[in-house]
Amino acid sequence: VTIMKFNQQLEQLLKTLSQFTDAEGELLKQNVKHSAEKFDPELIKLLLNDPDSKAHFFDEIDTATIFNYRKFIDYIDDKNFLIDSYTKFSNKVGLTLSNKHIQQINEVVLSFPFKDCVLEGGQSKDDEKRKEIFFNEVLAKDEINRLLNKKVITSAKKYTQNGVNDEVNFNRNENGLIKDNLIIKGNNLLALHTLKSNFAGKVKLIYIDPPYNTGNDSFNYNDNFNHSTWLTFMKNRLEVARDLLSEDGVIFVQCDDNEQAYLKVLMDEIFERDNFISCISWKRKKEISNDTKNISVQGEYILSFAKTKTTQLFLEQLSSSYIKKSYKEPNKEFPLGKWRPVPLTVSKGLSGGGYKYEITNPNGKKHSRLWALPERSYKKLFLEKSVYFGIDGNGIPQKIMYVKDSKGQPTTNYWDNTSTNKEGKKEFLNLFDDNNIFSNPKPEKLLQRIIHIATKKGDLVLDYHLGSGTTCAVAHKMGRQYIGIEQMDYIEDIAVKRMQKVIGTTVKKDGELLESLDFDSGGISKSV
Ligand SMILES: C[S@@+](CC[C@H](N)C(=O)[O-])C[C@H]1O[C@@H](n2cnc3c(N)ncnc32)[C@H](O)[C@@H]1O
């Protein structure tokens, strides 16, 4: 046989096995190669039974016939075999995500070294710089399973207002769900997988403030992950975090501009782009650093994603600065509290709708316009003394809104007045006298704002980068159930001690205070 003929003959022969062809009947070269590498009996039988193929790809040694798989693969790989394969297979070539071609699922994904790995990333002391092992999803399946298998939680203690107790029986609800608050010491990857059996689908809010990967080792924990290692570390944990979220749950992840863009794409991939809520800019410091080379960084970011579309964040109470700016003091005409006028006319942008009639102000001035409500409703408002006619009585009639009747307003993605790192430090000093034992605790007001918009009383809040314990302290004061995870030894001296102080205060009073945006930071006195 000539080479050309043999090419065609082999192609036809291989196509007789369905696993080697695609839907259009074209040969899948990769599948053939994989079969050859595995010495797949079906393929070998097929070749053996074809005399030309047998002659090409088998060696006779004594009485044995041996498949020369190297020769076979080289032949298949040769550019003369399936000369048109590059065009024929154009829609088979490309990146894959979870075994599907990205081209088919239309996703933009973030690719980085070790993406297919699990990184244990555990340590308990500041100075331990671990040499990390990357466990490949395929190659190290056993090791990964062992790593992520449910672990036993040991040495539990129960802290109550009456003191510490070593005998722990968890309080559970009628469905067996643990209702106690938990502070867990340990590697968060292992702890999260362990929590899955009890809390999968139960967490309403996850807030984390992970190491930012600034490359700055002055942090007390290991913040020196390099870029792709950091992304692997985040991915491993976010994937299990997602399993813990309830259907209407939300996650808020704090970061700075070192990783914000990458983290957004990674989270798009894990939580899906459609579930992105917003990227909040938080002003972490008021001062501009004059010694900055180019741009002084005053802000950082909080990326928020919903687990599913069912999430509805809660409104915020009107802030005192907004009330001060936008509301008028009570007076004789409107004595029921601070108030502001809102237009009754139909705004220009609105197409259709509106009621046309003439209103006569009490001083006789007439206004004929398109109004947002029918004349009957207007008259009712007027009788309720809820209409404002301007300082001189000539103004276009407007409706009165009292502060006390406001249901609040949606939050924004620009938080320029929600405490700063300096306030976080001050609160910490108020608790511990020593500023040096923990860098950059978040201010309580920041957590209060997040917990307020994302949860209601009794909901479960999780922070698996607990640090100094801000999330749990605020959740406790706001009457939420909470779980905090931190692996460093300092958890005992910082987060646990902090929680003991919080438990010792009159929580109910503080809880109510903290629901308002106007609470004074802290809410815990160190004398308790
Ligand atoms: C920026 S701090 C969080 C500060 C916190 N928001 C506060 O207000 O105090 C990040 C924390 O994550 C912890 N951490 C880092 N990797 C961890 C891991 N694999 N398991 C558990 N905790 C980890 C660090 O030890 C550190 O305390």
Q: Ligand 1 within 6 A of 522 CB?
A: no
Task: Answer for the pair 476, 499: CB distance below 8 angstroms, yes or no.
Answer: yes
| pLDDT of 93 higher than 70 | no
pLDDT for 216 equals 59
Shared-domain flag, residues 272 and 306: yes
Mean pLDDT of 67-81: 85
At 506, the pLDDT band (50, 70, 90 cuts) reads very low
Bigger pLDDT: 233 vs 350: 233
Q: Ligand 1 within 6 A of 122 CB?
A: yes
Residue 8 forms part of a structural domain? yes
Residue 515 CA, ligand 1 centroid: distance in Å: 26
Shared-domain flag, residues 364 and 433: no
pLDDT for 348 equals 66
Q: Ligand 1 within 6 A of 441 CB?
A: yes
Shared-domain flag, residues 308 and 332: no
Q: Supply the CATH number for residue 468's domain.
A: 3.40.50.150
Shared-domain flag, residues 286 and 433: yes
At 104, the pLDDT band (50, 70, 90 cuts) reads low
Q: Ligand 1 within 6 A of 470 CB?
A: yes
Residue 417 forms part of a structural domain? yes
| pLDDT of 371 higher than 90 | yes
Residue 209 CA, ligand 1 centroid: distance in Å: 7
How far is the C-alpha of 425 from the C-alpha of 428, rounded, in Å? 5
At 109, the pLDDT band (50, 70, 90 cuts) reads confident
Q: How far is CA 351 from the centre of its chain?
A: 38
At 513, the pLDDT band (50, 70, 90 cuts) reads very low
The protein residue whose alpha carbon is closest to atom 7 in ligand 1 is 441
Residue 483 CA, ligand 1 centroid: distance in Å: 14
| pLDDT of 289 higher than 60 | yes
pLDDT for 227 equals 84
How far is the C-alpha of 459 from the C-alpha of 208, rounded, in Å? 17
Q: Quickly list DSSP for 120-158.
A: ----SSTT------EEETTTTHHHHHHHHS-----S--E
Mean pLDDT of 162-169: 84
- Average pLDDT of the chain? 86
How far is the C-alpha of 420 from the C-alpha of 36, rounded, in Å? 63
At 98, the pLDDT band (50, 70, 90 cuts) reads low
At 512, the pLDDT band (50, 70, 90 cuts) reads very low
- Domain containing 337: what range? 320-405
Mean pLDDT of 175-197: 94
Encode pLDDT of 442-495 as tens digits: 999 999 999 999 999 999 999 999 999 999 999 999 999 999 999 999 899 999
Residue 207 CA, closest ligand 1 atom number:
6
Residue 511 forms part of a structural domain? yes
Q: Which one of 121-125, 156-160, 454-458 scores highest in mean pLDDT? A: 454-458
| pLDDT of 520 higher than 50 | no
Q: Ligand 1 within 6 A of 421 CB?
A: no
Residue 401 forms part of a structural domain? yes
Bigger pLDDT: 316 vs 137: 316
Q: Ligand 1 within 6 A of 443 CB?
A: no
Mean pLDDT of 137-159: 88
The protein residue whose alpha carbon is closest to atom 5 in ligand 1 is 467
- 103-117, 138-152, 281-295, range with the lowest pLDDT: 103-117
Which of 405, 428, 444 is at the close of a domain?
A: 405
Residue 492 CA, ligand 1 centroid: distance in Å: 14
Bigger pLDDT: 83 vs 159: 159
Residue 332, φ and ψ in degrees, nearest 5: -60, -40
Q: Ligand 1 within 6 A of 442 CB?
A: yes
Q: Ligand 1 within 6 A of 390 CB?
A: no
pLDDT for 321 equals 84
pLDDT for 342 equals 94
Residue 122 CA, closest ligand 1 atom number:
19
Mean pLDDT of 256-283: 96
Alpha-carbon torsion (492, 495, 501, 505), positive or negative: negative
Shared-domain flag, residues 342 and 255: no
Candidate from 205, 487, 489, 496 with most ligand 1 atoms within 8 A of CB, to mutate: 487
The protein residue whose alpha carbon is closest to atom 2 in ligand 1 is 467
| pLDDT of 403 higher than 80 | yes
Which of 405, 433, 468 is at the close of a domain?
A: 405
Mean pLDDT of 260-284: 97
Share of the chain above pLDDT 90, in %: 61
| pLDDT of 1 higher than 80 | no
Amino acid at 491: I
Share of the chain above pLDDT 70, in %: 86
Residue 146 forms part of a structural domain? no
Residue 344 CA, ligand 1 centroid: distance in Å: 51
Candidate from 205, 465, 470, 493 with most ligand 1 atoms within 8 A of CB, to mutate: 465
pLDDT for 433 equals 82
Shared-domain flag, residues 457 and 360: no
Q: Ligand 1 within 6 A of 188 CB?
A: yes
Residue 485 CA, ligand 1 centroid: distance in Å: 8
pLDDT for 525 equals 27
How far is the C-alpha of 486 from the C-alpha of 435, rounded, in Å? 19
| pLDDT of 43 higher than 50 | yes
Candidate from 221, 302, 418, 474 with most ligand 1 atoms within 8 A of CB, to mutate: 221
Q: Ligand 1 within 6 A of 444 CB?
A: no
Residue 456 CA, ligand 1 centroid: distance in Å: 25
Q: Ligand 1 within 6 A of 465 CB?
A: yes
Q: Ligand 1 within 6 A of 467 CB?
A: yes
Mean pLDDT of 418-440: 89
In 256-309, which residue ranges form alpha helices assigned H by DSSP? 260-271
Q: Quickly list DSSP for 181-210.
A: -EEEES-HHHHHHHHHHHHTTTEEEEEE--
pLDDT for 101 equals 67
Which of 370, 405, 440 is at the close of a domain?
A: 405
Residue 127 CA, ligand 1 centroid: distance in Å: 15
Shared-domain flag, residues 221 and 285: yes
| pLDDT of 224 higher than 80 | no
Mean pLDDT of 135-155: 88
**Residue 366 belongs to what H/E stretch?**
strand 366-371
Mean pLDDT of 88-108: 63
- 122-136, 314-328, 347-361, 379-393, range with the lowest pLDDT: 122-136
Mean pLDDT of 272-294: 96
Residue 463 CA, ligand 1 centroid: distance in Å: 9
- What's the residue count for the chain? 528
Mean pLDDT of 82-100: 57
Shared-domain flag, residues 286 and 339: no
Shared-domain flag, residues 399 and 488: no
At 87, the pLDDT band (50, 70, 90 cuts) reads very low
| pLDDT of 27 higher than 80 | yes
pLDDT for 229 equals 85
Mean pLDDT of 495-510: 74
Task: Answer for the pair 456, 482: CB distance below 8 angstroms, yes or no.
Answer: no
Q: Ligand 1 within 6 A of 269 CB?
A: no
Residue 349 forms part of a structural domain? yes
Residue 42 forms part of a structural domain? yes
| pLDDT of 4 higher than 70 | no
Shared-domain flag, residues 276 and 204: yes
The protein residue whose alpha carbon is closest to atom 12 in ligand 1 is 465
pLDDT for 206 equals 98
Residue 122 CA, ligand 1 centroid: distance in Å: 11
Shared-domain flag, residues 186 and 293: yes
Shared-domain flag, residues 309 and 350: no
Residue 194 CA, ligand 1 centroid: distance in Å: 18
Q: Ligand 1 within 6 A of 439 CB?
A: no
Number of domains in the chain: 3
Residue 141 forms part of a structural domain? no
Q: Ligand 1 within 6 A of 222 CB?
A: no
Mean pLDDT of 54-65: 92
Residue 369, φ and ψ in degrees, nearest 5: -150, 180
Residue 468 CA, ligand 1 centroid: distance in Å: 8
